[in-house]
Structure 1
Amino acid sequence: MLVRIEASELPGRECGQGPGDPGYRNVHVGVQRKDRPDEILGLHPGDAASAAWDLEVDAARKETGWDLRGPYVQGRPGGRFVYLSWGTVDGDGAFAMFRRAKLWFDGVAPDVMEAAARNGLLLARLGLTDARGEPLCATVRPPLVRWTAPAA
Protein backbone atom coordinates (compact mmCIF):
# COMPACT_ATOMS: atom_id res chain seq x y z
CA MET A 1 0.00 0.00 0.00
CA LEU A 2 1.09 3.57 -0.62
CA VAL A 3 0.88 6.16 2.15
CA ARG A 4 0.90 9.63 0.65
CA ILE A 5 1.43 12.63 2.94
CA GLU A 6 0.38 15.99 1.49
CA ALA A 7 1.32 19.03 3.51
CA SER A 8 0.44 22.69 3.11
CA GLU A 9 0.84 25.87 5.15
CA LEU A 10 4.57 25.45 5.80
CA PRO A 11 5.90 27.92 8.40
CA GLY A 12 8.83 29.47 6.53
CA ARG A 13 12.60 29.06 6.49
CA GLU A 14 13.19 30.72 9.86
CA CYS A 15 11.96 29.91 13.36
CA GLY A 16 12.05 32.87 15.67
CA GLN A 17 14.00 33.01 18.86
CA GLY A 18 12.23 32.66 22.17
CA PRO A 19 12.82 31.62 25.77
CA GLY A 20 14.98 28.50 25.63
CA ASP A 21 14.86 28.47 21.82
CA PRO A 22 17.89 29.77 19.91
CA GLY A 23 16.00 30.16 16.63
CA TYR A 24 16.82 28.41 13.35
CA ARG A 25 17.58 29.41 9.76
CA ASN A 26 17.22 27.55 6.47
CA VAL A 27 14.54 25.27 7.95
CA HIS A 28 13.53 22.14 6.00
CA VAL A 29 11.19 19.20 6.65
CA GLY A 30 11.32 15.55 5.57
CA VAL A 31 10.38 12.02 6.64
CA GLN A 32 12.81 10.24 8.97
CA ARG A 33 13.80 6.66 8.17
CA LYS A 34 13.25 4.07 10.90
CA ASP A 35 16.32 3.54 13.11
CA ARG A 36 18.28 6.06 10.99
CA PRO A 37 17.57 9.56 12.35
CA ASP A 38 20.13 11.10 10.01
CA GLU A 39 18.46 9.66 6.90
CA ILE A 40 15.67 11.97 5.75
CA LEU A 41 13.40 11.37 2.75
CA GLY A 42 12.31 14.24 0.54
CA LEU A 43 13.58 17.38 2.20
CA HIS A 44 11.40 20.39 1.44
CA PRO A 45 12.27 23.99 2.35
CA GLY A 46 10.12 25.47 5.10
CA ASP A 47 8.83 28.17 2.77
CA ALA A 48 7.62 25.79 0.04
CA ALA A 49 4.01 26.20 -1.07
CA SER A 50 3.45 22.51 -0.28
CA ALA A 51 5.29 19.26 0.39
CA ALA A 52 4.47 15.62 -0.37
CA TRP A 53 5.95 12.24 0.41
CA ASP A 54 5.10 8.76 -0.89
CA LEU A 55 5.87 5.85 1.42
CA GLU A 56 5.52 2.20 0.43
CA VAL A 57 4.21 0.21 3.39
CA ASP A 58 3.14 -3.36 4.09
CA ALA A 59 -0.37 -3.53 5.52
CA ALA A 60 -1.24 -6.65 7.51
CA ARG A 61 -4.62 -7.37 9.03
CA LYS A 62 -4.38 -8.18 12.75
CA GLU A 63 -7.01 -9.07 15.36
CA THR A 64 -6.94 -5.48 16.60
CA GLY A 65 -7.02 -3.84 13.14
CA TRP A 66 -4.34 -3.11 10.58
CA ASP A 67 -0.60 -2.99 11.17
CA LEU A 68 1.53 -0.88 8.84
CA ARG A 69 5.25 -1.53 8.45
CA GLY A 70 7.96 -0.15 6.24
CA PRO A 71 11.30 1.64 6.15
CA TYR A 72 9.76 4.95 7.31
CA VAL A 73 7.21 3.56 9.78
CA GLN A 74 8.25 3.91 13.43
CA GLY A 75 6.96 2.33 16.65
CA ARG A 76 5.56 -1.00 17.77
CA PRO A 77 2.38 -2.75 16.61
CA GLY A 78 -0.62 -0.78 17.82
CA GLY A 79 1.52 2.36 18.11
CA ARG A 80 2.86 3.02 14.61
CA PHE A 81 3.66 6.48 13.28
CA VAL A 82 5.79 8.46 10.83
CA TYR A 83 8.22 11.17 11.93
CA LEU A 84 8.15 14.44 10.03
CA SER A 85 11.53 15.87 11.01
CA TRP A 86 12.30 19.58 11.07
CA GLY A 87 15.87 20.72 10.78
CA THR A 88 18.33 23.17 9.36
CA VAL A 89 20.39 22.61 6.23
CA ASP A 90 23.88 24.07 6.20
CA GLY A 91 25.94 25.28 3.24
CA ASP A 92 27.21 21.74 2.60
CA GLY A 93 23.67 20.31 2.54
CA ALA A 94 23.92 18.63 5.95
CA PHE A 95 20.62 18.31 7.83
CA ALA A 96 20.51 18.93 11.61
CA MET A 97 17.17 18.05 13.21
CA PHE A 98 15.74 20.31 15.90
CA ARG A 99 12.18 18.97 16.31
CA ARG A 100 9.79 16.31 14.99
CA ALA A 101 6.11 15.70 14.48
CA LYS A 102 4.67 12.22 15.09
CA LEU A 103 2.01 11.46 12.50
CA TRP A 104 0.09 8.64 14.23
CA PHE A 105 -1.68 5.89 12.27
CA ASP A 106 -4.01 5.18 15.20
CA GLY A 107 -5.98 8.25 14.11
CA VAL A 108 -7.05 6.54 10.89
CA ALA A 109 -10.71 5.50 11.16
CA PRO A 110 -11.23 1.73 10.70
CA ASP A 111 -13.43 2.20 7.61
CA VAL A 112 -10.78 4.46 6.03
CA MET A 113 -8.06 1.88 6.71
CA GLU A 114 -10.22 -0.87 5.20
CA ALA A 115 -10.78 1.22 2.08
CA ALA A 116 -7.05 2.10 1.89
CA ALA A 117 -6.10 -1.59 2.09
CA ARG A 118 -8.60 -2.32 -0.70
CA ASN A 119 -7.65 0.68 -2.89
CA GLY A 120 -3.91 0.61 -2.17
CA LEU A 121 -3.71 4.26 -1.08
CA LEU A 122 -3.90 5.97 2.32
CA LEU A 123 -3.76 9.77 2.09
CA ALA A 124 -2.87 12.17 4.90
CA ARG A 125 -3.47 15.92 4.48
CA LEU A 126 -2.26 18.40 7.04
CA GLY A 127 -0.96 21.90 7.59
CA LEU A 128 2.57 22.16 8.97
CA THR A 129 2.33 25.43 10.91
CA ASP A 130 1.19 25.32 14.53
CA ALA A 131 -0.99 27.88 16.32
CA ARG A 132 2.09 30.00 17.18
CA GLY A 133 3.31 30.12 13.58
CA GLU A 134 6.09 27.60 14.25
CA PRO A 135 6.78 24.20 12.64
CA LEU A 136 4.15 21.67 13.70
CA CYS A 137 5.64 19.19 16.18
CA ALA A 138 4.76 16.58 18.81
CA THR A 139 1.64 14.42 18.43
CA VAL A 140 -0.34 14.76 15.21
CA ARG A 141 -3.76 13.12 15.14
CA PRO A 142 -7.14 14.27 13.80
CA PRO A 143 -8.25 17.02 13.56
CA LEU A 144 -4.69 18.18 12.77
CA VAL A 145 -4.49 15.55 10.02
CA ARG A 146 -7.23 14.32 7.71
CA TRP A 147 -6.94 10.67 6.63
CA THR A 148 -8.76 9.46 3.51
CA ALA A 149 -8.59 6.48 1.14
CA PRO A 150 -9.17 7.76 -2.41
CA ALA A 151 -9.15 5.32 -5.31
CA ALA A 152 -5.54 4.85 -6.43
Structure 2
Amino acid sequence: MQIRIEAFALPGRTCTAGPGFPGYTDIHVAVQQRQRSDVLLDPQPGDAASAAWTLDCTASATASGVDLKGPHIQGRPGQRFVYLSWGTVDDTGVFTMFRRAKLMLDAVDPAVLAAAAHSGRLVARLGLTDAKGQPLCAAVRPPVVAWSAGATTL
Protein backbone atom coordinates (compact mmCIF):
# COMPACT_ATOMS: atom_id res chain seq x y z
CA MET A 1 0.00 0.00 0.00
CA GLN A 2 1.03 3.63 -0.39
CA ILE A 3 0.31 6.86 1.43
CA ARG A 4 0.33 9.88 -0.87
CA ILE A 5 0.72 13.27 0.80
CA GLU A 6 -0.35 16.17 -1.41
CA ALA A 7 0.45 19.60 -0.02
CA PHE A 8 -0.46 23.07 -1.24
CA ALA A 9 -0.33 26.64 0.12
CA LEU A 10 3.24 26.38 1.38
CA PRO A 11 4.32 29.32 3.59
CA GLY A 12 7.27 30.55 1.52
CA ARG A 13 11.02 30.17 1.57
CA THR A 14 11.30 32.95 4.18
CA CYS A 15 9.02 33.37 7.18
CA THR A 16 9.42 36.48 9.27
CA ALA A 17 9.53 36.49 13.05
CA GLY A 18 6.33 36.65 15.03
CA PRO A 19 5.11 35.86 18.55
CA GLY A 20 6.73 32.57 19.57
CA PHE A 21 8.41 32.22 16.16
CA PRO A 22 11.95 33.54 15.55
CA GLY A 23 11.69 33.57 11.75
CA TYR A 24 13.70 31.52 9.27
CA THR A 25 15.10 31.68 5.75
CA ASP A 26 15.65 29.02 3.08
CA ILE A 27 12.82 26.93 4.54
CA HIS A 28 12.19 23.40 3.25
CA VAL A 29 9.78 20.62 4.24
CA ALA A 30 10.25 16.85 4.00
CA VAL A 31 8.91 13.57 5.34
CA GLN A 32 11.02 12.22 8.18
CA GLN A 33 12.05 8.57 8.38
CA ARG A 34 10.89 6.64 11.46
CA GLN A 35 13.11 7.38 14.46
CA ARG A 36 15.66 9.20 12.25
CA SER A 37 15.21 12.96 12.24
CA ASP A 38 18.33 13.22 10.05
CA VAL A 39 16.92 11.04 7.23
CA LEU A 40 14.45 12.97 5.08
CA LEU A 41 12.42 12.02 2.04
CA ASP A 42 12.55 14.52 -0.84
CA PRO A 43 12.88 17.96 0.83
CA GLN A 44 10.79 20.58 -0.96
CA PRO A 45 11.35 24.36 -0.86
CA GLY A 46 8.88 26.34 1.23
CA ASP A 47 7.94 28.50 -1.77
CA ALA A 48 6.97 25.60 -4.06
CA ALA A 49 3.50 25.81 -5.62
CA SER A 50 2.82 22.31 -4.25
CA ALA A 51 4.67 19.35 -2.82
CA ALA A 52 3.95 15.62 -2.83
CA TRP A 53 5.44 12.52 -1.29
CA THR A 54 4.58 8.85 -1.78
CA LEU A 55 5.32 6.51 1.11
CA ASP A 56 5.33 2.74 0.88
CA CYS A 57 3.73 0.94 3.81
CA THR A 58 1.92 -2.22 4.78
CA ALA A 59 -1.67 -2.40 5.96
CA SER A 60 -2.63 -5.13 8.42
CA ALA A 61 -6.09 -5.96 9.72
CA THR A 62 -6.25 -5.86 13.52
CA ALA A 63 -9.03 -6.23 16.07
CA SER A 64 -9.29 -2.43 16.23
CA GLY A 65 -9.14 -1.78 12.46
CA VAL A 66 -6.31 -1.32 9.96
CA ASP A 67 -2.76 -0.75 11.21
CA LEU A 68 -0.19 0.90 8.95
CA LYS A 69 3.56 0.29 9.21
CA GLY A 70 6.48 1.47 7.12
CA PRO A 71 9.80 3.27 7.13
CA HIS A 72 8.14 6.71 7.45
CA ILE A 73 5.36 5.81 9.88
CA GLN A 74 5.98 6.75 13.50
CA GLY A 75 4.29 5.78 16.76
CA ARG A 76 2.62 2.77 18.34
CA PRO A 77 -0.43 0.89 17.06
CA GLY A 78 -3.50 3.10 17.43
CA GLN A 79 -1.27 6.19 17.61
CA ARG A 80 0.48 6.12 14.21
CA PHE A 81 1.52 9.30 12.40
CA VAL A 82 3.82 10.71 9.72
CA TYR A 83 6.18 13.59 10.48
CA LEU A 84 6.51 16.50 8.07
CA SER A 85 9.74 18.17 9.18
CA TRP A 86 10.38 21.87 8.59
CA GLY A 87 13.93 23.11 8.46
CA THR A 88 16.40 25.48 6.95
CA VAL A 89 18.98 24.43 4.37
CA ASP A 90 22.39 26.07 4.54
CA ASP A 91 24.88 26.73 1.72
CA THR A 92 26.33 23.22 2.07
CA GLY A 93 22.89 21.56 1.82
CA VAL A 94 22.57 20.70 5.52
CA PHE A 95 18.96 20.60 6.75
CA THR A 96 18.40 21.91 10.29
CA MET A 97 14.92 21.13 11.63
CA PHE A 98 13.02 23.81 13.53
CA ARG A 99 9.50 22.33 13.77
CA ARG A 100 7.35 19.38 12.69
CA ALA A 101 3.78 18.59 11.80
CA LYS A 102 2.32 15.21 12.77
CA LEU A 103 -0.17 13.80 10.25
CA MET A 104 -2.25 11.70 12.63
CA LEU A 105 -3.21 8.40 11.03
CA ASP A 106 -5.53 7.57 13.94
CA ALA A 107 -7.70 10.46 12.72
CA VAL A 108 -8.39 8.79 9.37
CA ASP A 109 -12.02 7.65 9.17
CA PRO A 110 -11.99 3.84 9.58
CA ALA A 111 -14.12 3.41 6.43
CA VAL A 112 -11.65 5.52 4.42
CA LEU A 113 -8.72 3.55 5.81
CA ALA A 114 -10.39 0.24 4.96
CA ALA A 115 -11.13 1.48 1.42
CA ALA A 116 -7.52 2.65 1.07
CA ALA A 117 -6.22 -0.73 2.21
CA HIS A 118 -8.40 -2.31 -0.49
CA SER A 119 -7.45 0.17 -3.25
CA GLY A 120 -3.78 0.31 -2.26
CA ARG A 121 -3.58 4.07 -1.70
CA LEU A 122 -4.41 6.50 1.11
CA VAL A 123 -4.26 10.17 0.11
CA ALA A 124 -3.76 13.15 2.43
CA ARG A 125 -4.42 16.68 1.09
CA LEU A 126 -3.51 19.66 3.20
CA GLY A 127 -2.30 23.22 3.17
CA LEU A 128 1.05 23.74 4.88
CA THR A 129 0.60 27.31 6.12
CA ASP A 130 -0.98 27.85 9.53
CA ALA A 131 -3.36 30.67 10.49
CA LYS A 132 -0.38 32.92 11.38
CA GLY A 133 1.23 32.46 7.95
CA GLN A 134 3.91 30.18 9.36
CA PRO A 135 4.82 26.55 8.57
CA LEU A 136 2.08 24.21 9.80
CA CYS A 137 3.07 22.32 12.96
CA ALA A 138 1.69 20.19 15.82
CA ALA A 139 -0.84 17.36 15.47
CA VAL A 140 -2.75 17.58 12.18
CA ARG A 141 -6.23 16.10 11.98
CA PRO A 142 -9.34 16.78 9.87
CA PRO A 143 -10.50 19.29 8.81
CA VAL A 144 -6.92 20.59 8.37
CA VAL A 145 -6.10 17.44 6.41
CA ALA A 146 -8.53 15.66 4.08
CA TRP A 147 -8.04 11.89 3.84
CA SER A 148 -9.35 9.80 0.95
CA ALA A 149 -8.83 6.43 -0.63
CA GLY A 150 -7.61 5.97 -4.19
CA ALA A 151 -6.91 8.71 -6.73
CA THR A 152 -4.54 11.64 -6.32
CA THR A 153 -4.97 15.19 -7.58
CA LEU A 154 -1.38 16.51 -7.89
TM over 0.5: yes
Matched, 1:131 2:131: yes
Normalising to structure 2: TM-score of the pair? 0.95
TM-score if structure 1 supplies the norm length?
A: 0.97
Does the CA-based 8 Å contact 2:123-2:151 persist in structure 1?
A: no
Tell me the matched-pair count.
152
Distance in structure 2 (CA, Å) of the matches to 1:113 and 1:33: 22
Show CA shifts across 1:71-94 (max 9, x none): 000000000000000000000000
Provide the C-alpha distance between the structure 1 equivalents of 2:145 and 2:105, rounded to a whole number of angstroms.
10
Q: Give the gaps of 5 or more residues in structure 2.
A: none
What residue is the counterpart of 2:39 in the other structure? 39
Q: 1:17 Cα deviation (Å)?
A: 1.3
How far apart are 1:19 and its partner, in Å?
A: 4.1
Residues 74 and 83 in structure 1, CA contact (< 8 A), matched pair in contact too: yes
Are 1:115 and 2:115 matched, yes or no? yes
**Contact 1:57–1:70 (CA<8 Å) still a contact in 2?**
yes
Q: Structure 1 segments of 4 or more deviating over 4 A?
A: none
- Cα shift at 1:110: 1.1
Letter aligned with residue 136 of structure 1? L
2:76 corresponding residue in structure 1 = 76
Letter in 1 for 2:144: L
Q: Structure 1 unaligned runs (5+)? A: none
In structure 2, what is the Cα distance between the partners aligned to 1:21 and 1:108? 30
Whole-angstrom distance in 2 between the partners of 1:111 and 1:18: 40
Distance 1:45 1:21 in 2: 19
Residue 87 (str. 1) matches residue 92 (str. 2): no
Residues 1:151 and 1:134: Cα distance change in structure 2 (over 3 Å): closer
Question: 1:78 is paired with a residue of what secondary structure?
Answer: coil
Q: Secondary structure at the match of 1:12?
A: coil
